[in-house]
Structure 1
């Protein structure tokens, strides 16, 4: 086996400068967003947009090339750091999901998931069939299906960070949004894998069966062998002195889950979330250092890098501007209205329904992943990629104020207070049996 040479000095310098630039601007704009009453995620998303072709690269290309890697290989190093951040963010979110509470409210979670997925997806497909010019390579049906998936996704990483930044992760509605969003995204990853196959080798019975078997297999193994193995590892890590063993164990479990999911043709974030569910809250108190690093360093880098490929200057075309307005309107009305309908059908009151609709409406970086997949396959062109990412930013900005306003009118329950204590400080020393996954 040939020895792989280390990273060259120029590539290392470009990587370090780019990483520092993204993190510094993301932290600065995140702090500014907080001062304006918005969560940090808003500023962190916009930092990449400002550094990319929408502003800096367009106006001052020499400065942009000095601050960010010009070579694709060097930029991929930053993408890798951001990908690590989003996987750990999703995994940590899974550790805070209150499964016993969600079992008691599974009817609400199912109703919100179905309505919040089918309504915007069907609306997106219908709109996509009306839009022929924006299609990248003349495949209008495939374009419409991709747009439908983009309208139906719920960005689990963005919701997780938004709820965390706003201190709402302990609320029952917050837990319901996480579970419903997980179901929606799992379905969308499955559909996206089928569309990817259709765009490359064609949609066959074998491809469909392979995807179904992979999804069922991950869930089945996680609920049986995986649950026992992860419980044993995390329990032993929690008994060790210091937080290092628990942090290392959690990271390994999350990355392993992501690797398995990705190897089976599904998105890595799905496996990371399932792995986080298995970790549970058994070592929650000792995972605080990991949570701090992910939320303050790795996640901001990921969110900032997501906007670097977006080009808002393309919206100078009036036709594209009207198309963007129509897509944003359909995305917001479809997702918000569908989730609200599901919440009301399941028995939630009006304010809780508004909160669920606002949370589910945030598309964030998951929509960016769908857009990048469509762009890579030639289904979306650069302009349509920009429009779809714009939906992600607009809906992520809308969610926090609406969530705050709606939940301010929902009284805090005793079980929510206990959950907040567990999330912030870990379970009490005398806690009872471990939670099942």
Structure 2
């Protein structure tokens, strides 16, 4: 990398971070999650505005490969955080309701999204018709677990029964969504890599049933030998986490899946018992590093969003996407909640909360774009759909729960204590 390229990269990073933080704070001021403003920052820096001149000035061709690497690093660490915060205790005592609501909030939008795909594929041709159909269904059924946790925290709902149930449903839905996306990635990858893809089963078993118990025993010995965790030791764990996430991500990428699956699985494999003090020191640092790198991901994703040529036909497609996304989630979640015996107001609250898509949807859409399942035009419209549905949550919540004011949010990567605890 030449000195000129390095200087351009530093300038691009400075602009990306400044714009993302500014718009993130504006979003919080407007009562929205910071991630809304950060995603808008990525779109603002893309070719939608100023005829693409700003994009070409900030992100010349020689800088983009380095930005892609930083963006991938941010997503890998973010998915590690999502996996490490997956709390099985959320399902205890309300497993039936969580499963019922999750199935409804996933099945209905998935079916409607798959049906919509049969229409959209004529306007946005794809070589993988089955994968395209499954992908659109998956994209319609996603819920952003981390953004949802932040919204619940801001409204004082994290430690309530409805908040715990919403998180449990989102957690179950996330696992189903990532599984579906893995199937889509496998289909789009072709039959030639089938034996690679099948390796994900023993790989997952190795992480969960071998690595996790081994780390638990190591943590038990550490806890018995030391009363406190020194900073050098915690820093060593932080480095080990980064290396482990990267290796796990590389493994699933080699298997024909996306690197996000490896990072997520490595996070799930992290032990809870005997690692409390280390987790309390390490995870916030991972969150801080991730909060610096994720705006780069938004910028890279924003470069692919081009709304400058949106016309009547595109607006009609956007309307269809919004109807299917919102209608499918609300009908599915509300219906599943009512069938599980949950009262009407709480069912409506769950339906609104589970309509949150945010960053998780953006990651899913980026995977679809990288796999060649969707074109830039459809990708751009679905990014708008993700922003609108996430913003709708904050606007709609006072209608069903007017008693709880919104508290000021700080950041877009929640690591709330209620989510952090686990077996």
Q: TM-score range by the shorter chain?
A: 0.7 to 0.9
Deviations 1:135-159 (A, max 9, x none): 3335544322221121122233433
Matching of residues 175-186 of structure 1 within 5 Å: 175-186=164-175
Q: Is the 8 A contact 2:113 2:325 kept in 1?
A: yes
Q: Name which of 363, 374, 386 aligns with 1:369.
A: 363
Q: Does 1:252 align with 2:240?
A: yes
| Residue 153 (structure 1) aligned to one of 139, 142, 162 | 142
Structure 1 range deviating more: 91-100 or 368-377: 91-100
CA contact (8 A) 2:139 2:361 kept: yes
1:210 and 1:421 map into 2 onto residues whose CA distance is 31
Deviation at 1:70, TM superposition (A): 1.2
Name the count of aligned residue pairs.
408
From 34, 41, 44, the counterpart of 2:28 = 34
- Counterpart position of 2:184: 195
Report how far residue 396 of structure 1 moved.
1.7
After superposition, the Cα gap between the structure-2 partners of 1:229 and 1:342, relative to the gap in structure 1 and judged at 3 Å, is: farther
Aligned to 2:320, which of 310, 315, 326? 326
The change in CA–CA distance for 1:189 and 1:169 in structure 2 (over 3 A counts) is same
Does 2:65 match 1:70? Answer: no
Secondary structure at the residue paired with 1:115? helix
After superposition, the C-alpha distances for 1:65-119 in whole angstroms (9 at most, x for unaligned) are 33x2212x62233333344334444544566565434322222222222222111
Residue 125 (structure 1) shift: 0.7
The question of whether the paired residues in 1 share the 8 Å contact of 2:143 and 2:356 is answered with yes
User: Counterparts of 1:269 and 1:400 in 2: how far apart (Å)?
Assistant: 29
Partners of 1:406 and 1:277 in 2: how far apart? 37
- CA deviations on 1:311-353 (whole Å, 9 max, x unpaired) are 112422x222212211121011112322233333334333332
**Alignment CA distance shift 1:231-1:391 (3 Å):** farther
Q: Report the CA distance shift for 1:77/1:362 in structure 2 as closer, same or farther (over 3 A).
A: farther
1:332-371 superposed matches below 5 A = 332-371=326-365
Unaligned runs of 5+ in 2: 406-413
* Distance in 1 of aligned mates of 2:77 and 2:226: 18
**Partner residue, 2:374:** 380
CA distance in 2, matches of 1:277, 1:337: 37
Write out per-residue CA displacement over residues 158-177 of structure 1, whole angstroms, 9 at most, x where no aligned residue: 33454456665444444433
Map 1:40-189 to 2 at 5 A.
40-56=34-50, 58=51, 61=53, 63-66=54-57, 68-71=58-61, 74-92=63-81, 99-137=88-126, 139-163=128-152, 168-189=157-178
Q: Which moved more, 1:252-261 or 1:149-158?
A: 252-261
The TM-score with structure 1 as length reference comes to 0.78
In structure 2, how many angstroms separate the alpha carbons of the residues matched to 1:257 and 1:288?
13
Give the whole-Å Cα distance in 2 for the aligned partners of 1:277 and 1:104.
22
Post-superposition shift, 1:187? Answer: 2.6
